[in-house]
């Protein structure tokens, strides 16, 4: 099952400022994870592992500081055009992902005195839910098929455009995109019946772009692909046993795999 995600809204930067107390000025890297609850869990696990207190709104926009880093997580409803998926138990989201992105960047500028040095963008699960919701299929249908056409558009157009919008809003920061991890088909909603093939196809398409030396998604290129799908598969093999056993549920990797996401991201950050 997928836990509820918080509704959109603005955080008062002044409240965060009082919590930071100027400590962020000493941090060498401000690293922003802009995505979904998968990133929420991963950043929270990394903070806990480092014995670093998470401040702010734990679910929507929070941060912690350790080892010369400030890690910030923010939620957005997906890069695909609205109407956004309304099944998060928070009703219809009217603020666009781009508007949310710009708002969060301004909050970080007020809170930390600068924009992120590095941003890890994610957009996958809520895109699939968006396509299903807006497809005209019956909400409880179990016959919804893997959306090959939408995935192709997402891979070749939606994500590059979304990354460009993040870069435009923060022109001096470096940007990476995190691919979706493996997921496990389940009966929670019509779109989750095919979530395994959907996330695999999304990751494979992005990986092919990188392998083909696409100028957007190569090491040293305009943006970098963090192949979390591959990271999870590799980490799962190293951990042993059934991969599903290392997950919180059918969608969200557990702490060990979440830490693997953050480790892969920070490896990229430290190489900048």
Q: Which tens digit of pLDDT belongs to each residue from 82-108?
A: 999 987 656 688 899 999 999 999 999
Say which residue the tokens 């558009």 belong to.
153
Say which residue the tokens 């869990």 belong to.
41
Let me know: does 139 contact 50? Beta carbons within 8 Å.
Answer: no
Q: pLDDT (tens digit, 9 = 90+) per residue, 224-262?
A: 999 999 999 999 999 999 999 999 999 999 999 999 999
Let me know: does 14 contact 54? Beta carbons within 8 Å.
Answer: no
What are the residues whose beta carbons fall under 8 Å from the beta carbon of 193, sequence distance 6 or more? Answer: 142, 144, 185, 186, 187
Query: Could you tell me the pLDDT band of residue 210, with boundaries at 50, 70 and 90?
Result: confident
Task: Say what percent of the chain tops pLDDT 70.
Answer: 82
Let me know: does 262 contact 42? Beta carbons within 8 Å.
Answer: yes
Query: Could you tell me the pLDDT band of residue 129, with boundaries at 50, 70 and 90?
Result: very high
Q: List beta partners, residue 174.
A: 118
Going by C-alpha positions, the residue among 176, 160, 218 that lies closest to residue 31 is 176
pLDDT given at position 271: 86
Instruction: Determine which of 20-29, 77-86, 96-105, 194-203 has the lowest per-residue pLDDT on average.
Output: 20-29
pLDDT given at position 215: 57
Find out whether the peptide bond into 83 is cis, omega within 30 degrees of 0. yes
Let me know: does 181 contact 257? Beta carbons within 8 Å.
Answer: yes
Average pLDDT of the segment spanning 117-129: 97
Question: Per-residue pLDDT for 64 more than 90?
Answer: yes
CA angle 224, 31, 244 (to 5 degrees): 70
At 137, give phi and psi (nearest 5°). -70, 155
Average pLDDT of the segment spanning 120-124: 97
State the pTM of this model. 0.89
**CATH says 13-270 is which class?**
alpha beta
The SS3 assignment for 176 reads: strand
Helix pair 195-211, 125-133: axis angle to 10 deg: 120
Q: H or E element: which one contains 72?
A: strand 69-75
Q: List beta partners, residue 158.
A: none
Q: pLDDT (tens digit, 9 = 90+) per residue, 133-158?
A: 998 765 555 578 999 999 999 999 99
Q: Write out the two tokens for 99.
A: 């508007």
Q: Where are the alpha helices (DSSP H) in 50-155?
A: 97-112, 125-133, 148-153
Distance CA 119, CA 271 (A): 14
Q: Write out the two tokens for 104.
A: 């969060």
């Amino acid at each position: 099952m997928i836990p509820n995600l918080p509704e959109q809204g603005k955080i008062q930067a002044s409240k965060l400022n009082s919590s930071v107390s100027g400590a962020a000025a000493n941090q060498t890297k401000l690293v922003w994870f802009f995505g979904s609850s998968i990133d929420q869990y991963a950043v929270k696990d990394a903070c806990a592992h480092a014995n670093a207190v998470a401040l702010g709104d734990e679910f929507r926009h929070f941060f912690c500081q350790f080892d010369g880093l400030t890690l910030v997580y923010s939620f957005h409803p997906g890069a695909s055009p609205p109407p956004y998926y309304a099944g998060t138990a928070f009703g219809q989201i009217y603020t666009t992902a781009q508007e949310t992105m710009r708002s969060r960047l301004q909050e970080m500028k007020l809170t930390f005195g600068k924009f992120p040095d590095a941003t890890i963008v994610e957009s996958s699960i809520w895109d699939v839910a968006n396509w299903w919701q807006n497809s005209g299929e019956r909400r409880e249908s179990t016959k919804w098929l893997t959306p090959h056409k939408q995935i192709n558009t997402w891979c070749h157009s939606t994500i590059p455009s979304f990354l460009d919008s993040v870069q435009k809003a923060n022109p001096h920061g470096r940007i990476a995109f995190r691919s979706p991890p493996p997921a496990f088909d389940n009966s929670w909603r019509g779109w989750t019946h095919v979530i395994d093939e959907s996330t695999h196809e999304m990751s494979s398409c992005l990986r092919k772009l990188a392998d083909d030396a696409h100028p957007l998604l190569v090491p040293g290129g305009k943006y970098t692909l963090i192949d979390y799908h591959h990271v999870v598969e590799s980490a799962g093999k190293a951990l042993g046993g059934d991969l599903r056993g290392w997950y919180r549920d059918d969608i969200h990797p557990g702490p060990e795999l979440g830490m693997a996401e953050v480790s892969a991201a920070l490896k990229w950050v430290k190489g900048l």
